Amino acid sequence: MDVAFAFIAPAAQAALRSAEQAIAPAAQAALRSAEDVIAPAAQAALRSAEEAIAPAAQAALRSAEPAIAPAAQAALAAAADAGEAAWAFASANPAAAACGVVALGGLAIVAAPAVITTPALSAVGFTPVGPAAGTIAATVQTANVAAGGLFATMQSAAMGGYGVGAVAAAGQVVGGLAAAAGGAGAAVFAQNNQGQVRD
């Protein structure tokens, strides 16, 4: 059986090579011929679809514009009215308005603590490459920085490591306190000045 296989295998391989050499050029020619037929037809179909769709899309935009324009104008007018009302309130209640700004700033810090923590860390010298020379961070750094300690956690946060979560949480607590204090102050000042809108 091994002898028969030894004779058959080379003959089969030669037959496969011969068939491949005969079929490959014919298959390539058939593909080129099909491409020559299909490509112009596909391009013509695309042009035809574009010619049919473009006017319909333009007509849809033209018909939508009258409906959208009044709504956009109404939204702009409402925004302008809200801005005028806010300005009138802030003018009559400057302390309440300032407290409101503090509250909004606190909420922004709660939502995105990195807005304040990243600049704060940088301001005291914690940078992505280590404590900056001549800064508070460099001054308080000791030879033996304890892993997980305050200094290590703050430096880790500046470098994007494990300290990011802890520093972000601390920033959110500060933001939450600012929002609560600002909101309470705004409510107190607004209540004390209720009905006193100046012209």
| Per-residue model confidence (pLDDT) at position 198 | 47
**Scanning the structure block, which residue is given the tokens 């700004």?**
101
Q: What H or E segment, with its residue span, contains residue 131?
A: strand 130-131
Predicted local distance difference test score (pLDDT) of residue 4? 55
Q: pTM for this one? A: 0.50
The b-or-e profile of 132-151 (16+ CB within 10 A means b, else e) is eeebebeeeeeeeeeeeeeb
* pLDDT by residue, tens only, the chain of 199 residues: 565 555 566 767 777 777 777 777 777 777 777 777 777 777 777 778 778 887 877 777 777 777 777 877 888 888 888 888 878 877 777 777 787 888 888 888 888 888 888 888 888 899 888 888 888 888 888 777 778 888 888 888 898 888 888 888 888 898 888 888 888 888 787 777 665 544 4
- Return d(Cα 194, Cα 141) in angstroms, integer: 52
Contacts of 35 (CB under 8 A, 6+ apart): none
Per-residue model confidence (pLDDT) at position 8: 67
In the structure encoding, which two tokens stand for residue 194, read together? 């209720």
> What's the confidence (pLDDT) of residue 197?
46
The predicted structure's pLDDT at residue 7:
59
